[in-house]
Amino acid sequence: MPQHTPRRIAVIGGGANPEHAVSLASAAGVTRAVRALRHTAVPLTIGRDGAWRDEQDVALPAARAVEILTGCDVAFPVLHGAHGEDGAIAGLLELCGVRFAGSPVRAGALGMDKHATKLIASSLGIATADARLVGAGSDAVGTGLTLPVVVKPAGGGSSNGVFVVADPGRVADAVVRARVFGDPVLIEEYVTGREVDVAVFRDRHGALRIGATLEISVAPGDVFGATEKYDGSARFTVPAPIGDADEAGVRSAATRLYDALGCAGVARFDFFVTADGPVLNEVNTTPGMTELSQVPLMYAATGLDYTGLIAELLDAAHPRVQEGERGDERHSGVPSESGSAA
């Protein structure tokens, strides 16, 4: 791990969306790691109402929040979901000229849009579940898909608004319920397989660093939904006990998508490993980042602990726009791959 000159790091958590509490937990973990690295952490929270607040929960005018951000060396946003992970916070930071650890606008927007992600994955030859998009306000839910189906907001996160439907008469109701969490809504065929995830980031040298694969196990008949994600009932196995061919397929698909989407920072790629090989579920460009979240567990299995992971992500922070360095330039050439800490 490199030696670090002390820096001021803005850690941005919260957010005006249903993932607010999860984001606060991620931000608290990142703040602890930043302080363990002997940097100055500057926690900032976006409330459920969209207002900015400082570490003492004092409301900040937007202009003051921008002033604080521009006074920091690097920002580490951990805003999950809409108005954050979808590229919104990246756009603000880029316009303010603040370096940040995370994906730029384009990657955040594409990764948050599950339909767009499917189109890009399919263009790369990566398998996805057959799906139909139900536009905002549309009542057309006749899909022609084989039941059961999964109904979910195309731009949702943390499994909020996700429903498994086996009765064709209940699909329309599931669409209405999913819309509470966002429009448009995606209806896709249920995939039977083992849920296996992997994380990728590009380090300060330009090398891709791939975490160990992780398998998620839930009780028979259950899905890895919002409740299971945070109540401790799901079991993680790292590395995932899958065959060499599936391991290679998951790693290859994740790294190709990382570059195709234009990601920076760390991103998590979720798959179902089926009898026919890996099938992409979704991409998270701002995954959970508590000490016990999936991504830190993946890298811990390669020898890179939580604090070391945060250090690496800070060192690889997205360049300032005014420096003339564009995020897409960092994806040129063919980088080396590594699954362990260098």
Ramachandran angles phi, psi of 129, nearest 5°: -70, 140
pLDDT digit string, tens, across residues 22-66: 999 999 999 999 999 999 999 999 999 999 999 999 999 999 999
Cβ neighbours for 220, distance < 8 A, ≥ 6 positions apart: none
Cβ neighbours for 190, distance < 8 A, ≥ 6 positions apart: 129, 147, 148, 149, 150, 164
pLDDT digit string, tens, across residues 210-265: 999 999 987 555 555 555 554 455 789 999 999 999 999 999 999 999 999 999 99
pLDDT above 50 (res 326): no
Distances in Å between the Cα of 248 and the Cα atoms of 125, 165, 213, 242, 273 are 15, 32, 10, 10, 12
Q: How far apart are CA 208 and CA 117, in angstroms?
A: 20
User: Per residue in 7-19, is it b (16+ CB within 10 Å) or e — as a string?
Assistant: bebbbbbbbbbbb
pLDDT value at position 183? 86
Instruction: Locate the domains of the chain by residue range.
Output: 8-102, 110-125+192-338, 131-189
pLDDT value at position 123? 97
- Global pTM exceeds 0.85: yes
pLDDT digit string, tens, across residues 92-146: 999 999 999 999 999 999 999 999 999 999 999 999 999 999 987 676 666 688 8
CATH superfamily of 131-189: ATP-grasp fold, A domain (3.30.1490.20)
Q: Judging by DSSP bridges, how do beta strands 40-46 and 8-14 pair with one another?
A: parallel
Considering only residues 2 and 160, tell me which one the structure prediction assigns the higher pLDDT.
160
Range 8-102: architecture per CATH: 3-Layer(aba) Sandwich (3.40)
pLDDT value at position 28? 98
Q: How far apart are CA 2 and CA 104, in angstroms?
A: 24
For residue 152, give the nearest of 123, 107, 113 by alpha carbon.
113
Q: How far apart are CA 312 and CA 299, in angstroms?
A: 11
Q: Judging by DSSP bridges, how do beta strands 235-237 and 214-217 pair with one another?
A: antiparallel
Alpha helix locations (H) across 53-100?
62-70, 88-96
pLDDT digit string, tens, across residues 60-100: 999 999 999 999 999 999 999 999 999 999 999 999 999 99
Ramachandran angles phi, psi of 185, nearest 5°: -115, 140
Task: Give residue 48's region: left, alpha or beta (phi > 0; psi -120 to 50).
Answer: alpha
Strands (E), 183-285: 185-189, 194-202, 208-210, 214-217, 235-237, 266-274, 277-284
Greatest alpha-carbon span in the chain: 61
Q: The domain 110-125+192-338: what is its CATH number?
A: 3.30.470.20
